Amino acid sequence: MNTHSIPEKELVAIILYISLFFIIVSVVLIVFFYFSRKKIIQKELEKKDLILQYQKEQLHAVLQIQEEERKRIAQDLHDDISSKLNIVSLNTHLLSAPNLTEAETTEITENIINLTAKALENSRKIAHNLLPPVFEKFGLHAGIEELCGEFESSKSVKTYYKNELDFDDKEIDRHLHVFRVLQELMNNSLRHGKSN
């Protein structure tokens, strides 16, 4: 036998220890990567949950604003248009009365014409509030500028609007939502904030 050779039992033990070391290192690495990956996935899920929650809140806000807008439109239609048309209808029936003088007929006819003109004007205002023509033709920026101008001229309020964004024409629906939210905020500020 060679004096420099390692006994067979020691060689088997060394190989066994080296193999065991690599197995332990491999298991530790696998466990480490498993838990690291699990933590990353957990953070991604939390991030997606936050995004989903934010989107739900945004959707809820948009739906709430739409509902408030519908109520406002219904109120405008009821208060302005409906009442005027009821009076027009009443006056139209009065015209069929057999004992009207010419002066009464003229007065009723003028009243019908005036109320009809007012109803048309109010319906134009309601339609303009639904989708301003300038918004439809020239986009969000022009619509906001017109809205600010209307508030300044009719409400004795000073507004300031500055835009440094380039609005993408492809996102008309989103722009309309932004316009509606801004319109509602300005109306609420005037109504509830006692702005001047």
pTM exceeding the 0.85 threshold for the entire prediction: no
**CB atoms inside a 10 Å sphere around CB 65:** 17
Element (H, E) at 176: helix 172-193
What token pair was written down for 87? Answer: 């009076």
What CA–CA distance (Å, rounded) separates 42 from 81? 57
Look at residues 88, 72, 74 and name the one whose alpha carbon lies nearest to residue 187.
72
Contact (CB, 8 A) for 88 and 112:
yes
Nearest to 68 by CA among 190, 194, 183: 183
H-assigned helices in the chain: 8-76, 83-95, 102-130, 133-138, 140-155, 172-193
pLDDT of residue 172: 73
What is the helix (H) or strand (E) element at residue 155, kind and residue range? Answer: helix 140-155
pLDDT for res 4: 62
10-residue stretch averages of pLDDT, the chain, 196 residues long: 70 92 96 95 96 92 83 81 85 86 90 89 79 78 84 75 75 78 79 62
- Choose among 117, 112, 147: nearest CA to 132: 147
Token match 């996102």: residue?
A: 171
Q: What's the CA gap between 161 and 148, in Å, rounded? A: 7
Are the C-beta atoms of 68 and 184 separated by less than 8 Å?
yes
Say what the pLDDT of residue 20 is.
95
Residue 170 is predicted with a pLDDT of: 62
Instruction: State the pLDDT at residue 1.
Output: 46
